[in-house]
A and B are shown apart, each in its own frame.
Chain A
Amino acid sequence: MVEGLELLTGKAPKPHKGKAMTLGDGSRVAVIGAGPAGSMFSYFFLSMAETIGLDVNVDIFEPRGFCHRGPAGCNHCGGIVSESLVQRLATEGIRLPDCVVQRGIESYTLHMDVGDVEIATPLMEKRIAAIYRGNGPRSSEPLDTHSFDGYLLDLAKQKGARVIPRLVTGLRREKDSMTVQCADQSSDTYELAVVATGVNSRLTEMLGNESGEFTHPDRTKTFICEFHLGRKLIRETFGPSMHVFLLDIPRLEFAALIPKGDYVTLCLLGEDIDEALIDKFFSAREVRERFPDGVIPGHVCHCYPRINIREATPVYGDRLVLIGDSGTTRLFKDGIGAAYRTSKAAAKTAVFHGVSAEDFKNYYAPLCRKISNDNRVGKFVFSVATVVQKARFARRGILSMTATEQQQVDSPRRMSGVLWDLFSGSASYTDVFIRTLHPAYVGNLLRNLVAANLPGGRSRDRRNADEGNGRVRH
């Protein structure tokens, strides 16, 4: 989307003494990038403007076509729409059609060296969507798949947004506008520029380097790949369950196998994922056992996308706002959910308040701060998970407590709920952390830690779990 930032002049956070920085009839907005953040911003911005009778224009700059399979049409992501986001989108009237949802997920299966346990949603309802950001892996057949990003872009277009298939190469602040420059030497001016390029574009980096007013987000490398197993085999071996691994592998924070149509997506998150870490993951017994005959097939498509692990600062300026991964996102989880929240907050600010740095500071930045503060708690939660990864006795206790809860129908499922929300990103890290302080949670965990690690206790717990929903394997 943006190859390089030619020049961004002006002191972004200082209020500009020019025309009033509010949008009126005929105002023009440039959205750079048509990932979920850019498309959702355009959709909500135009919806809100229509509601108050404001006649504005939105141009979305996106050279990529989401109808392509493989990297050409993909925004490189694990492809999970969280339970909370599915519900919020449904409430907004955005229904994810079956052609976009590659598989509805209704449970998580946690794999550890001490056993496996399936954590089912209490309602036995598919409320998590496994999707493709593009139109499927590199070698996939062009069947009935549809890109999630393409679907959101279509919604924005239906609201009146215009897509300009050009690569943006520069962004320049003028007295009362922002000028967007493209690779074909064309340029145009806008009352507001919205940067929604994610962190795998050079824009945020250039924004920081050129203007000196912005610090681009800190990033880390992840690994995503696709295995072709076929629909029938996936149904038999993976079912409508996302398979999560808690393994003692240094630098690995989260690993999941996500079933989607004919393919299974592997997503590894952690600290600079490299080939050594990937090899170690593939050689783990718990991973190999997931695949037919214990053999991991060759992947058909893979990438090492970077993710945002610390927000850009600040995420706004006069007539400029950074949304989604370009600005602030959630740590490791629910990046699409963060794109929804930040894009909508930015759209509300622009429509109802104005487009000055002061407006974004007052009405947009608080949400970004809330997400950033929650990420700090998230870092602590993941550090606890790292301790659990290394402590076998702790893993036994967690397995025992979760498996027992999964057999009980009416009792509170405290550990299951904590793990569910941690894996799915459906609740804030702060909420997850607070729930772990509940005396009943602490008491049950201590009891299970003792029971599961006593001689004889392990086999009893396994037997009990095998009888119920919590399928425990050793």
Chain B
Amino acid sequence: MKPKFGVVVFPGSNCDHDAYYVIRKILGHDVTFLWHKENTLDDVNVIILPGGFSYGDYLRTGAIARFSPIMNSVIDFANKGGIVIGICNGFQILLEAGLLPGVMLRNISLQFVCKDVYLSTENRNTLFTSEIPLERKSIKIPVAHGEGNYFASDDVLKSLQDNNQIVFRYSDSKGQVSDDVNPNGSLMNIAGIINKQGNVLGMMPHPERACDPVLNKTDGQFIFKSIINYLTN
């Protein structure tokens, strides 16, 4: 199948163009914007919910975007097995929409955190992570968020672990996970999780900001390339 990406644009999205640019210019694949007021998804086979501050983060992050007309179609698409990746604010929207479990709390420091972080890949057996080379103990991808402190009840956390749904954890460059390298207070250093079916990924770090070689970091490409390979092979 030829990959065709759709990047949803909410009022307040600000990483939509970055995602579009990476897919089209860096990776050379088909991509289109999907306006939040629409309810058709064209014929895309991957949906990106981009980072930003949809609806000004009013009420709770992602809470209002979740009720945008396009989200009904996105939820439907995901429930039918369609590939969805939510990045940062997109992750928060997936949580509010119930496509992934848990909530995001304010960073424990109360500060907006914007820096490169290292992630240990906890599950390489997903369509989002298959291209991350085995010898890589960590990948380097930036975060930029004020509310990335992942929280879930003990039951949910256990179910995430039992089903291998924790995909990325904040670590050091050697892949060692510890409190010292937790940028926001997330439970278990969780940076990204996947749904049980394996077709919906939410992650706080921004892979689209680590793709263009001119930025001197390209680890984000692994994630998009994994999706592309999954669809083409």
User: Is the A/B pair a real complex?
Assistant: no
Residues of B within 8 A of A (CB): none
